Chains A and B, each alone.
Chain A
Amino acid sequence: MLLQQLVNGLTLGAVYTLIALSFSLVMGVLSILNLAIGEVFMLGGYLGFALLAAHVPLAIALLGGMVSTAVVSIVIEKVAYQPLRDAPLITPMLSTLGCSIILQNLVTNLWGSDPLQLPSELFDRRIPLGPISIGLMQLVIIGVAVVLVALVAFLVKKTSAGRALRAVAENRDVARLLGVSPQRVTLLAFAISGALAGAGGVLVSLHYAAITPYVGVDIGLKAIAVMVIGGTTNVWGALLAGPLIGIAEVLTIAYGGSQARDLVVYGLMILILLLRPQGLLGGARSDVGQRV
């Protein structure tokens, strides 16, 4: 029973990891909260859903979802972030909130506000492992999440685009003097962030086998907690914190009642903020944060 809960928590955590990484890419480079990420993620879920329902193979559906949400994220950057990049932090945060309102309205009008169900034959294959069993889809979700985190880590650490990204995150002005274009880096950060949120969306629709237009707010806010707990300066932090929160949440539901789970998640986040503001895997550089 406990083991089964752990497996479920891991699956949920894998989705959190992707959304948290999506938040942290934008936050790490620009120190702003992109509040549209929750809805980009939800949109990814619906796109993946539509593709899967049309009997497109899972890999293609995942890729399709990721590319579309990357494009949406780039549009958000152009419309809501770029013109306001030198305004106080709250202003671009609220303009991305505007984007999230538009996206939610769009999805509600296109697909309706009732939950959509995926055909269950996709999910019936379970692999027995001694006393517990893992659904094939759960394995897929965890596997995809790990591969994507590794890809992002490789991109950020080893490629020249990643070096540019880190340079701008460290010091925008110096990076510009060294010939890095902050505009292109910002666009790249938004694109990857959108693709990750989209992947998370496709995976979450697999996890719950159902999706509603309101899934973005709840999971989006928790992903912010995961981002903080993992630390924004280290890509692997999200992979540690995601499953941690997923398991904490599933265990709270199992033993403390489903209403108490947010109390545990946000309590953990505040604890980390106070004791270790840079996050579990964050480096020594404590991020002081820009002025509001």
Chain B
Amino acid sequence: MISTYYAGLFADVGILTLGALSVYIILATGQLSLGNGGFMGIGAYVASYLTVALHWPVTPALLVAGLVAAVVGVIVGFPALRLKGIYLAIATLGFGEMVRSFFLVFEPTGGSGGYRGMPHISISYIWVWAGAIVLLVLALERSRLWLEMRAVHDDETAANLVGLNTTVIKIGAFGLGAAVAAICGGLFAHQYVYIEPGNFGFDRSIDFVLAIILGGSTVGLGALVGALLLVLVPEWLRFLVDWRLAAFGVLLILVLLTRRQGILDRTLIMRLTFRKTA
């Protein structure tokens, strides 16, 4: 039996893994989203509203939350087509902040006072979702669709020239990433049973990006590694008391300086599984 302390941490790892994957899916098409905290917020509020006000069971509430966010993701994805690189990132940042401030003024879900009353879910329930979505992404990585996404990432013009529909691929990635972020948000809401708009701000979005970049942004499993690191390392640094965050900052910079592709990459996976590098 694990202690409640570790159970809480592992729930956080599962939730953060999904958040990191939501960034990973969008990043696979060469688009950086700094607004996935916003999609997470939409998912958290929609799922919570369904379970609290309409007394739905958690699973269908999560599915609907994912769907709603996917639609919003597609709507965000369209204007995003006009923007590239850092400007796209800034636009998504603006979107995330708008979602946060929308829930601040939106009274039906409590506004700035937050929203409560959700049923609590177990850690195994969180991990069933996290595991299923990780497997889904791993399967996606072996599909033809993934090759097309990488093609858009590597050279959009060339991908267009060989007949790929880059518009659909880029918008689809936004929709899928948004859905995963929303499920992450729904799980978060039912784990903490209290949410407020501040939970889904820029800090959250940047946490997701941090997790996938630290873990390794070229493989889906990097999300898992990054989430583990991001949740556990600050806990291990507790003995430093007041200087814990500074030490975390130093470690973060050191990892980026020594392994800019992230902890996990294809070469490392090959080595760990005793396969010859192709």
Contacts and interface: CB of A to CB of B under 8 A. Distances in A.
Interface of A: 27, 31-33, 35, 79-80, 83-84, 87, 89-91, 94-95, 97-102, 104-106, 108-109, 217, 221, 224-225, 228, 257, 259-263, 266-267, 269-270, 273-274, 277, 287-292
B90 A291 contact: no
Given A83-B257, A105-B246, A224-B90, A291 B213 contact: no
B89 interface: yes
Contacts of A291: 30, 84-85
Contact of B245 (A104, A217, A266, A270): A104
Given A84-B257, A270-B98, A259 B112 contact: yes
Interface in B263-278: none
Majority DSSP secondary structure for residues of A touching B: helix
A207 B82 CA distance: 38
A90 B249 contact: no
A292 B89 contact: yes
B10 to A, nearest CB: 24
Nearest to B256: A95
A106 B246 CA distance: 7
B98 A292 contact: no
A31 B246 contact: no
B105 A257 contact: yes
Interface in B66-81: 79
Nearest to A89: B86
Contact of A288 (B85, B101, B245, B253): B85
A228 B97 CA distance: 15
Interface string B84-103: 11111111011101101110
A289 B88 contact: yes
Given A262-B98, A262-B100, A292-B30, A98 B250 contact: yes
Contacts of A270: 79, 91, 94-95, 98
Contacts of A262: 97-98, 100-101, 104
B101 A269 contact: no
A150 to B, nearest CB: 26
Contact of A95 (B94, B246, B252): B252
A266 B97 contact: yes
Interface of B: 27, 30-32, 79, 82-91, 93-95, 97-98, 100-102, 104-105, 111-112, 202-203, 206, 209-210, 213, 217, 242-246, 248-250, 252-253, 256-257, 260
Nearest to A76: B253
A84 B254 CA distance: 11
Contacts of B27: 292
Q: Which 8 A-B pairs have the closest CB atoms?
A: A289-B85, A101-B249, A262-B101, A102-B249, A105-B246, A98-B252, A98-B253, A105-B245
Q: Which of B27, B101, B244 is packed against the most chain A CB atoms within 10 Å? A: B101
A260 B243 contact: no
B276 to A, nearest CB: 28
Given A221-B202, A259-B111, A267-B98, A95 B253 contact: yes
Contacts of A31: 85-86
Given A105-B249, A224-B90, A269-B94, A289 B257 contact: no
Contacts of B82: 274, 277
Given A90-B217, A259-B104, A290-B85, 9 more contacts: A35-B206, A87-B260, A99-B249, A105-B244, A221-B97, A263-B98, A266-B94, A290-B86, A292-B31
Contacts of A269: 90-91, 94
Contacts, number: 144
Given A87-B260, A273-B94, A263 B102 contact: yes
B218 to A, nearest CB: 11
Nearest to B31: A292
Q: Which of A83, A101, A292 is packed against the most chain B CB atoms within 10 Å? A: A292
Given A259-B101, A269-B94, A292-B30, A99 B84 contact: no
Contacts of B249: 98-102, 105
B3 to A, nearest CB: 28
13 contacts: A27-B86, A33-B89, A87-B260, A90-B213, A94-B256, A95-B256, A98-B250, A98-B252, A108-B242, A269-B91, A277-B82, A289-B83, A291-B85
A210 B197 CA distance: 25
Contacts of B111: 259
B206 A97 contact: yes
Nearest to B250: A102
Contacts of A228: 87, 90
A91 to B, nearest CB: 5
A260 B93 CA distance: 17
A210 to B, nearest CB: 21
Nearest to B100: A262
Contacts of A273: 79, 83, 87, 90-91, 94
Contacts of A97: 206, 210, 252
A292 B253 contact: no
A259 B105 contact: yes
Contacts of B250: 98, 102
B98 A221 contact: no
A98 B249 CA distance: 4
